[in-house]
Amino acid sequence: MSKFCSNCGKEVNENQDVCLNCGVRINSNTVVNSTEDKVDKNASVGFILGLISIIAWFIPLFGYPVTVCGIVFSSKGLKSKTQRGKALAGLILSIVFLVFSFINSIMGVIMNLAFYY
């Protein structure tokens, strides 16, 4: 990955603090941008996991990790400026289906107990 000077646009070395071309200090813009990219990605992943978490309803064993991951990624993605809605939707979906599959599992246990006793 390469960085570019914010002043003159010349490519600079990644571990360089000062641009060799114009002498301007390489500010943390690049770092901030990559963090934002990461947050946006988290929001998208959280949203997709939220959609996938619907299967938690049917296959709790597979769905639990998906819903939990969805919650983790979505809450990280909430910091995103552009993808906040996605992250929020993913978070809500993940929590809703985590709760649903949890209730389902408990119901299953109760049904089993009722069947055996």
Site of interaction with Zn ion (CB under 5 A): 5, 7-8, 19, 21-22, 24
User: Cβ distance 97 to 56 under 8 Å?
Assistant: yes
Give min distance, CB of 21 to Zn ion, in A.
4
Give min distance, CB of 10 to Zn ion, in A.
5
User: Cβ distance 23 to 60 under 8 Å?
Assistant: no
Say how far apart CA 56 and CA 69 lie, in whole Å.
12
Q: Which is nearer to Zn ion, 9 or 65 (CB)?
A: 9
Q: What is the CA radius of gyration of the chain?
A: 22
Give min distance, CB of 15 to Zn ion, in A.
16
For residue 12, give every residue at least 6 positions away whose Cβ sits within 8 Å of its Cβ, in sequence order, or none.
2, 3, 4, 5, 19, 20, 21, 26
Q: Which is nearer to Zn ion, 21 or 112 (CB)?
A: 21
Give min distance, CB of 36 to Zn ion, in A.
22
Q: Which is nearer to Zn ion, 17 or 61 (CB)?
A: 17
Q: Which is nearer to Zn ion, 7 or 75 (CB)?
A: 7
